[in-house]
Amino acid sequence: DHQLPRPSHRRIMTVANQKGGVGKTTTAVNLAAGLALHGLRTLVIDLDPQGNASTALNVDHRSGTPSVYEILLGEVSLVDAAQVSEQSPNLLCVPATIDLAGAEIELVSMASRESRLKEALSREALEELDVDYIFIDCPPSLGLLTVNAMVAAHEVLIPIQCEYYALEGLGQLLNNIDLVQKHLNRTLAVSTILLTMYDGRTKLADQVTQEVRNHFGDVVLKTVIPRSVKVSEAPGYGQTVLAYDPGSRGAMSYLDAAREMAERGAASRERQ
């Protein structure tokens, strides 16, 4: 199994789309697992009160566990909240607990409410964790939690589900990214779009794929994630699909996507 290139800079990626059920969490945990499998140290920050990424990586996320909530409050450091997954020593997770459900409102009255996650991702904390990739799994909204993720990140990864209303609401997401770029994080860029839940039996899936490629060009990964029952079963076992059924089409396609992302990242830096 060949190693993937380590990025010359740590890549912090926000996985965002205000629509629920498009594959944000599935993408965050499985890309992270794919990179970890190739020897890259990877951290998933679960920023959704539902805690689905924490469940999929089987890390403790009962109320009171040091989590992203305490990090936002400034009570706990990133290093103290990060747990090593049982899947791989290279795969870490900062969990979300149910306490995060109130954070969207609590943040409103806090100082530097948009940049509290960024402050926690300090150079010292990141050096201590020594991770190459960070994926921030966003909730299905464009509120302050997602804004915190966009301010803390270098790149946005947008999963798009290959179905009828795929592009609806995307304009709103892109507007928000523009606003964050203008006012809070000048270097934020939509670097990656991943097509998810592709169903080859439908003509519609191909039409959506083509439409997204026409509109976004090279930002869209060549790898497309198929709809696969193994992908949806895996979280029920506290596993990514790469651990649950490594030979399945879903696992292979997430591995391909991880490789494509890692190799493309390295290539684009060479061009600079």
Binding site for Mg ion (CB under 5 A): 24-25, 52
Q: Do residues 93 and 85 touch, judged by C-beta distance below 8 A?
A: yes
**Cβ-based nearer residue to ligand ADP, 116 or 227:** 227
Comparing every residue's Cβ against Mg ion, the nearest one is 25
Report which of 159, 79, 154 is spatially closest to residue 118, judged by C-alpha positions.
154
The residue whose two tokens read 């895996």 is: 234
- Which 3 state secondary structure label does DSSP give 7? coil
Considering only residues 229 through 268, tell me which ones interact with ligand ADP, judged by CB under 6 A: 231-232, 235, 250
> In the numeric block, which tokens belong to residue 16?
């965002």
- Judged by CB under 6 A, which of 152, 157, 225, 255 binds ligand ADP? 225
**Cβ-based nearer residue to ligand ADP, 76 or 248:** 248
SS3 content of the chain, % helix, strand, coil (to 5): 45, 15, 40
Alpha helices in 170-248 (DSSP H): 170-183, 203-216, 229-233, 241-244
Alpha-carbon distance 173 to 240, whole Å?
27
* Segment interacting with ligand ADP (CB under 6 A) among 5-13, 67-75, 201-209, 224-232: 224-232
- CB of 167 vs ligand ADP, minimal distance in Å: 15
Residue 21 binds ligand ADP, judged by CB under 6 A = yes
Residue 228 binds ligand ADP, judged by CB under 6 A = yes
Residue 25 binds ligand ADP, judged by CB under 6 A = yes
**Contacting residues toward ligand ADP, per CB under 6 A:** 20-26, 52, 140, 196-197, 225, 227-228, 231-232, 235, 250
